[in-house]
Amino acid sequence: MPWNAHTAMSLRRELVLLADQPGANVAEISRRFGVSRKTAYKWLGRYREGGDDALGDRSRAPDRSPNRTPPEVEAAVLRVRTTLRPVPGTGSPAGSGARPAPSSIRTS
């Protein structure tokens, strides 16, 4: 491992420690680290609220999903999918009524 190897967390921590100094020029610090001022202020705010632990990556998953399929329907679909085998050459499950297009069937 090279001596200059840095993790995202260590770079973020270095950025906020510099930006948190009295009279710090956040625009210059953000240019030095190759991030926008908006990103620098975002990390600085997170650091001030939660310390080093707040500098980690956050989940991008939504907090809630109102249109999500109900769990019982999802379970039923998965049960059906596991019982059916794919029809060779079609990519569709057996019993779905799907058949290859006539133009895709070789007769010779």
In which region does residue 2 sit, left (phi positive, over 0), alpha (psi from -120 to 50) or beta (all else)? beta
* Residue whose pair of structure tokens reads 């510099």 in the numeric block: 18
Domain segments of the chain as ranges:
8-55
Structure confidence by residue, pLDDT tens digits, 29-84: 999 999 999 999 999 999 999 988 888 888 888 888 889 899 999 999 888 877 77
CA distance 78 to 41: 45
**pLDDT for 98:** 60
What is the pTM for the complete model shown?
A: 0.53
The residues, ordered by sequence, that sit 6+ positions from 77 with a Cβ below 8 Å of its Cβ are: 69
| Partners of residue 86 on adjacent β-strands | 93
Q: What is the 3-state secondary structure of 27-53?
A: HHHHHHHCCCHHHHHHHHHHHHHHHHH
